[in-house]
Chain A
Amino acid sequence: MSEIANRVKKIIVDKLGVDESEVTPEASFTNDLGADSLDTVELMMEFEKEFNISIPDDQAENIGSVGQAISYLEEHVK
C-alpha cells in the first residue's frame, strides 16, 4: 500500500472512530463507515491539511469512498 493510502487510512480511523479493518478501498464514508455530512466535510479538511492541498468543492463531492480519496490524493499530491 502506498504511503498516501496509509496516511488516508489513519485519518479516517481517527476522525470516524472506526476500526482499521473496516477501512477497505470499497468502503463508503456514509454507507459503511457511519459518517454524516459534517463528518465528510471534516474528512476533506483533514486531507487538505495533511497533504497541504486544496480540494475544490465540486471535486470533494465525488470523493465518497476510501478508494476514491486515495486515488484523488495520489493523483494530486506532489
Chain B
Amino acid sequence: MNVTLRRVVVTGLGALTPIGNTADEYWNGLINGVSGADFIKQFDAAKFKTRFACEVKDFKVEDHMDRKEAKRLDRFSQIAMAAANEAVAHAKLDDPSINGDRVGVIWSSGIGGMITFIEEMKNFNAGDGTPRFNPFFIPKMILDIAAGHISMKYGFRGPNFATVSACASSTNGMIDAFTYIRLGKADVMITGGSEAVVTEAGIGGFNAMKALSERNDDPKTASRPFDLNRDGFVLGEGAGAIVLEELEHAKARGANIICEIVGGGMSADAYHLTAPHPEGLGVINVMNAALEDAEMKPEDIDYINVHGTSTPLGDIAEITAIQKVFGDHAFNLNISSTKSMTGHLLGAAGAIEAVATILAVKNDIIPPTINHTTIDPAFDSRLNLTLNKAQHRTVNAAVSNTFGFGGHNATVIFKKYEA
C-alpha cells in the first residue's frame, strides 16, 4: 500500500499540572523555575519513606463538571476532562461545522483509576464479605474511560482508545494520534494523558521499588535531575492535552497553528523490568527512529526535553544515548528536564512535557532544569543542561523523550510551522 503521509499540526493545548492549572499558568511556572513539590495533602503519609509529591493545587472539580458527573469519574478522569476542555476550547473545536466522525480521542494513563480501586476494596474489606460493589466501580476505574468521557461530551466519534506503556503512555498515544491523521483515518485527534495516584498504594509501591526521592527535609529541591545528589523521582499528578489536526483541515477553518508535529519513534530496551539499558540502546534507537520518521538530521534539533526523572542511573543512560545519537552537536543543544519542576506524572508525563516542548518551539524559550547545586562528573561539562534558569534561543525543532517501566521508549519531534 502506497500512501502519501498528510502533514499534522498542533492547534490546541490544555494542562492541569502541579505548577499551573492551565497551559498558560503552567508555562509561566516552567519559565520561572517553580517547584511543584510539597508535603502530601491527599492522605496521611506520616509513616511513609516519602512524605511529599507534586500534587495539583486548588483543583475544584465543580468548575469543570456538575456534581453528578463528578461522582462517576475517578480523579484521573476528572483532571483529564479539565485539560481536554481547555484544549478543545483553545482549538475552537466546539464548532458544529466540524464533522465529529472525523475527530478522535486517544487518551493515556499509566495506571488509571487507582483511587477508585482502593476505595472500593477498602469498603469491601470493612464489610462481612457480602459484595456491595458500586455499579460505577468498573467504569470509573478502567483506564480507557477518560477517552470515552471526552468523546461523549463533545460527540467526537472517530478512533477512541487508551494507550498504556507506563511513563511513555501519553507519548505513545500522541504518536498513534499523529499516525492516524497522517494516514487519513481522522482529521483531528485530541490526545494527552492524566495520572492521579498520589495515594497510599502509589507512594508505597514506588517507595518499595526505591524509585522515589526521600528528601523529606527539603521537598522543593528533591527533584534534581543531573545533580550529583539526586536520589530518585518525585511523584506528580495532573494532565496534559494536545489537539493534533491535519494541516489542510486546520487551514480551511482558520485554526491557530502553534507548530507542526513531524516525527515519532518507538522502541523497547528488551533488557530489564525497571533498569535502563546501561548503554542506552533502546533510547538511541528511539531517537534515531524519530529523526528518521521526521526526515531530519541530528543537527536540525535545538532542544531536547529529556525524560530525566532524577534517578541516579536513568539520567546517565539517557545523556549517554543523546551523545551517541547527536555526536558533537549534543554540545549545541539545549537539554532540560522539566520534571525538576513538575515531578514525574507517569502516564501523563509525555503529555505535559509535549506541551512544554511545543511552547518552547513557539516562544523560543527553554524551560530550565531547576534544583541543580552540585556537578556530577558523569555528565560532560560541555553539555548545556539549562541549569536553574530559563534560556532564550531560537527553537526551530525540539525533541521530547519518555521511557516507561517495562523498557518502553517513545520520542516525538515538534517543529516551527512553515507553509
Q: Which residues of A contact B (CB under 8 A)?
A: 15-17, 34, 38-39, 41-42, 45, 48-49
Q: Is the CB of A48 within 8 A of B132?
A: yes
Chain A, Cβ-Cβ closest to B136: A38
From the candidates A15, A17, A34, A49, name the one contacting B132 in the complex (CB within 8 A): A49
Q: Which residues of B contact A (CB under 8 A)?
A: 66-68, 71, 132, 134-136, 139
A16 to B68, CA, bound (A): 6
Q: List 20 A-B contacts (CB under 8 A).
A: A15-B71, A16-B68, A17-B66, A17-B67, A17-B68, A17-B71, A34-B68, A38-B135, A38-B136, A38-B139, A39-B135, A41-B135, A42-B134, A42-B135, A42-B136, A45-B132, A45-B134, A45-B135, A48-B132, A49-B132
Chain B, Cβ-Cβ closest to A35: B68
A17 to B68, CA, bound (A): 5
Nearest CB in chain B: distance from A41 CB, A: 4
Nearest CB in chain A: distance from B283 CB, A: 44
- Residues of B contacting A16 with CB < 8 Å? 68
Chain A, Cβ-Cβ closest to B138: A38
Nearest CB in chain A: distance from B64 CB, A: 15
A49 to B68, CA, bound (A): 20
A45 to B135, CA, bound (A): 9
- Residues of B contacting A15 with CB < 8 Å? 71
- Residues of B contacting A41 with CB < 8 Å? 135
Nearest CB in chain A: distance from B107 CB, A: 21
Nearest CB in chain A: distance from B324 CB, A: 53
Chain B, Cβ-Cβ closest to A34: B68
Given contacts A17-B67, A17-B71, 18 further A-B contacts (CB under 8 A): A15-B71, A16-B68, A17-B66, A17-B68, A34-B68, A38-B135, A38-B136, A38-B139, A39-B135, A41-B135, A42-B134, A42-B135, A42-B136, A45-B132, A45-B134, A45-B135, A48-B132, A49-B132
A49 to B130, CA, bound (A): 12
Among all A-B residue pairs, the 3 with the closest Cβ atoms: A17-B68, A41-B135, A38-B135
- Residues of B contacting A34 with CB < 8 Å? 68
Nearest CB in chain A: distance from B152 CB, A: 12
A45 to B71, CA, bound (A): 15
- Residues of A contacting B139 with CB < 8 Å? 38
Nearest CB in chain B: distance from A48 CB, A: 7
A38 to B134, CA, bound (A): 9
- Residues of B contacting A17 with CB < 8 Å? 66-68, 71
A48 to B134, CA, bound (A): 12
- Residues of B contacting A39 with CB < 8 Å? 135
Chain B, Cβ-Cβ closest to A46: B134
Chain B, Cβ-Cβ closest to A17: B68
A17 to B67, CA, bound (A): 6
A16 to B71, CA, bound (A): 10
- Residues of B contacting A45 with CB < 8 Å? 132, 134-135
Chain B, Cβ-Cβ closest to A45: B132
Chain B, Cβ-Cβ closest to A16: B68
A16 to B132, CA, bound (A): 19
